[in-house]
């Protein structure tokens, strides 16, 4: 366990800057004002804090968790319990962003009642402020909104439809399919959805839908004409282990950075260069004398020892 970092501990900057919480109605207002909506996925406390503190508007606990965090081949196997567990961790980190939980495959496909119950679990047990559902599930969207649960729709390339689609393929590439997508998006909006993710569709189609829809569109692989953009956290920082999709822009190479840090650490351990004396705790002089220790006198109480939070030390000593 780390005794130098404190879960829930507040950085000064976090305490000093009161922020306006992003809500679902606020996203619609952003669309009205022509302000782009920034969105990212996150799945745990530390990444969610980074995303939130960087000012991202919407944070999705995506079912992409299955692939980028849990190492599954696709998103289909992630469970309600796993999604709840990660949503709770994210919720504890976030102060400003809208926290949206992705309903996993199978949690809303059998019946409206089951979808409703599972969505309620996300709100009640994990603190989600909205849920995302894939596909034009108009009746379910209406039932969720009736139950006071804000809904984000997800149309176009919907990864939970992987087997029906026959792979991850760009959708709405014909006039008929584009028209159907627009009809579905409008139906979701009329059912009360607060925003719609458009994934893997031609930019021209996304632009037209965005122009016609009263609610914001958030694009991923849908071109620049959407009201907002979302990426998978691990894609944008290069923590994935496969070539990126065309629409991914990598903003840093965290994979290379972390790999090299780990290699440096391993080398330091192997050549006994870590930890140093400064990174060690020391016995106070009196205790050392009482023990008859032969340790060097300069190992007197190190200034660093006093820096450690006493409450944390109590936990560590247990």
For binding to ligand KIV (CB under 6 A), which residues are involved?
A: 41, 60, 62-64, 102, 154, 197, 199, 220, 230, 232
The residue (of 248 and 283) whose beta carbon lies closer to ligand KIV is: 248
Alpha-carbon distances of 60 from 47, 48, 71, 232, 289, rounded to whole Å: 12, 10, 18, 9, 57
Catalytic residue chosen out of the listed positions 10, 199, 207, 208: 199
Give the N- to C-terminal CA distance of the chain in Å, as an integer.
12
CA distance 11 to 19: 15
CB nearest ligand KIV: which residue?
62
CA distance 24 to 99: 10
The residue (of 51 and 220) whose beta carbon lies closer to ligand KIV is: 220
CB 209 within 8 Å of CB 182:
yes
The residue (of 57 and 102) whose beta carbon lies closer to ligand KIV is: 102
CB of 155 to ligand KIV, least distance (A): 11
Please say if 199 is a catalytic residue: yes
The residue (of 41 and 87) whose beta carbon lies closer to ligand KIV is: 41
CB of 120 to ligand KIV, least distance (A): 20
CB of 41 to ligand KIV, least distance (A): 4
CB of 205 to ligand KIV, least distance (A): 17
- Residues identified as active-site: 199
């Amino acid at each position: 366990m780390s005794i130098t970092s404190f879960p829930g501990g507040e950085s000064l900057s976090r305490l000093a800057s009161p922020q306006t919480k992003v809500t679902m109605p606020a996203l619609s207002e952003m669309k009205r004002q022509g302000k782009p909506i920034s969105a990212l996925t996150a799945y745990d406390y530390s990444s969610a804090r980074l995303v939130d503190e960087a000012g991202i508007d919407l944070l999705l606990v995506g079912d992409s968790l299955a692939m980028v965090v849990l190492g599954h081949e696709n998103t289909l196997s992630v469970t309600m319990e796993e999604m709840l567990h990660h949503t709770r961790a994210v919720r504890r980190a976030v102060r400003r962003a809208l926290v949206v939980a992705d309903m996993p495959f199978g949690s809303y496909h059998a019946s409206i009642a089951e979808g409703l119950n599972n969505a309620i679990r996300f709100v009640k047990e994990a603190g989600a402020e909205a849920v995302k559902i894939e596909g034009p599930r108009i009746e379910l969207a209406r039932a969720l909104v009736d139950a006071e649960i804000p809904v984000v729709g997800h149309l176009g390339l919907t990864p939970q439809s992987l087997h029906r689609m026959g792979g991850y393929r760009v959708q709405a590439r014909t006039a008929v399919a584009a028209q159907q997508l627009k009809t579905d998006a409008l139906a979701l909006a009329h059912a009360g959805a607060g925003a719609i993710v458009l994934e893997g569709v031609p930019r021209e189609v996304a632009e037209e839908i965005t122009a016609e829809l009263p609610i914001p569109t958030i694009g991923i692989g849908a071109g620049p004409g959407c009201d907002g953009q979302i990426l998978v956290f691990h894609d944008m920082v290069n923590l994935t282990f496969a070539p990126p999709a065309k629409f991914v822009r990598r903003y840093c190479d965290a994979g290379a950075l972390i790999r090299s840090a780990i290699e440096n650490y391993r080398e330091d351990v192997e050549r006994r260069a870590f930890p140093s004396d400064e990174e060690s705790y020391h016995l106070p002089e009196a205790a050392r004398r009482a023990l008859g220790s032969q340790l060097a006198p300069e190992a007197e109480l190190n200034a660093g020892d006093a820096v450690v939070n006493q409450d944390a030390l109590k936990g560590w000593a247990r």
